[in-house]
């Protein structure tokens, strides 16, 4: 029987790297992509069934070229896990238009470029899973999040839209909403992160959600995400009051 294959963007560090190792250990072929070629090579040299495919997701042509390389090597892709992201908390506290444009270019349009590269393949195949990695920051507006939160909120809406579009072709679209996971990106945060978990914890939850379950959204840890989901349904006045107290936000 041919091995199944997963393509992971953002695969050089954090959740992407941990998930690549998890799927490799479960016997899958794993294609990992990111801009940092050296980190990809270090991982692929260590694991026999992980292969490196360097990629800049902001380059539409590069996305298509890399997808074709993966298909040529493995003849098949069963799951795509698109998790490229960027975040700079120091530049989120004010409206830095160039920074926000860059965040959207990577987080939203980088993911969209990746999805576009595989669209025709999956719609013709009429099977498989396309996974969009968002964040709990995409549920509702938060202080000091002028770019990151809105980019993730846009991904949530995109995932819901594509759920219908790909569903007609029997392709599952899945949204992943992690809480705080210890990665190089969250290491930049200068605030206390409740329920902080490891990338390996995230990988276990994602693997289970993709392979063993069939829900639209994989969110974790539930002790945090369920609280935020309840908060997201509250009327604006109550939501703003509670978040203001929790984040010690004060009107000037």
CATH label of the domain that carries residue 208: 3.40.50.720
Its domain, for residue 26, covers 5-223
- When pLDDT is cut at 50, 70 and 90, the band that residue 198 belongs to is very high
Find all residues with CB under 8 Å of 49, minimum gap 6, and list them.
3, 24, 27, 28, 29, 30
Q: How high does pLDDT run on average in the chain?
A: 91
- Tens of pLDDT, residue by residue over 41-100, are 999 999 999 999 999 999 999 999 999 999 999 999 999 999 988 877 777 778 989 999
The total number of structural domains in the chain stands at 1
| 249 within some domain | no
| 238 within some domain | no
pLDDT of 1 over the 90 cut: no
Rounded to 5 degrees, what are φ and ψ at 2?
-70, 140
| 54 within some domain | yes
CA distance 29 to 213: 20
- Mean pLDDT, residues 166-187 taken together: 88
pLDDT of 212 over the 80 cut: yes
What predicted TM-score, i.e. pTM, was given to this entire model?
Answer: 0.91
Residue bearing tokens 């992943």: 176
The confidence score (pLDDT) of residue 187 equals 58
């Amino acid at each position: 029987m041919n091995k199944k294959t997963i393509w992971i963007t953002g695969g050089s560090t954090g959740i992407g790297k941990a998930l690549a190792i998890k799927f490799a250990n479960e016997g899958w072929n794993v294609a990992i992509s990111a801009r940092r070629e050296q980190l990809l090579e270090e991982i692929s040299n260590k694991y026999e069934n992980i292969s490196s495919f360097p990629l800049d997701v902001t380059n539409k042509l590069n996305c298509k070229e890399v997808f074709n390389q993966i298909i040529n090597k493995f003849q098949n892709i069963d799951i795509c896990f698109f998790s490229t992201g960027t975040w700079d908390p120091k530049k989120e506290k004010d409206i830095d238009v160039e920074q926000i444009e860059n965040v959207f270019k990577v987080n939203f349009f980088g993911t969209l470029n990746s999805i576009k590269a595989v669209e025709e393949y999956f719609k013709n195949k009429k099977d498989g899973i396309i996974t969009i990695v968002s964040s709990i920051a995409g549920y509702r507006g938060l202080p000091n999040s002028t770019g990151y939160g809105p980019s993730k909120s846009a991904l949530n809406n995109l995932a819901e839209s594509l759920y219908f579009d790909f569903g007609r072709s029997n392709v599952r679209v899945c949204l992943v909403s992690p809480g705080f996971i210890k990665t190089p990106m969250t290491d930049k945060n200068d605030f206390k992160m409740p329920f902080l978990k490891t990338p390996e914890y995230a990988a276990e939850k994602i693997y289970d959600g993709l392979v063993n379950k069939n829900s639209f959204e994989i969110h974790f840890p539930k002790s945090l995400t369920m609280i935020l989901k309840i908060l997201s349904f509250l009327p604006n006045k109550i939501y703003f009051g509670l978040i203001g107290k929790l984040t010690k936000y004060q009107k000037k």
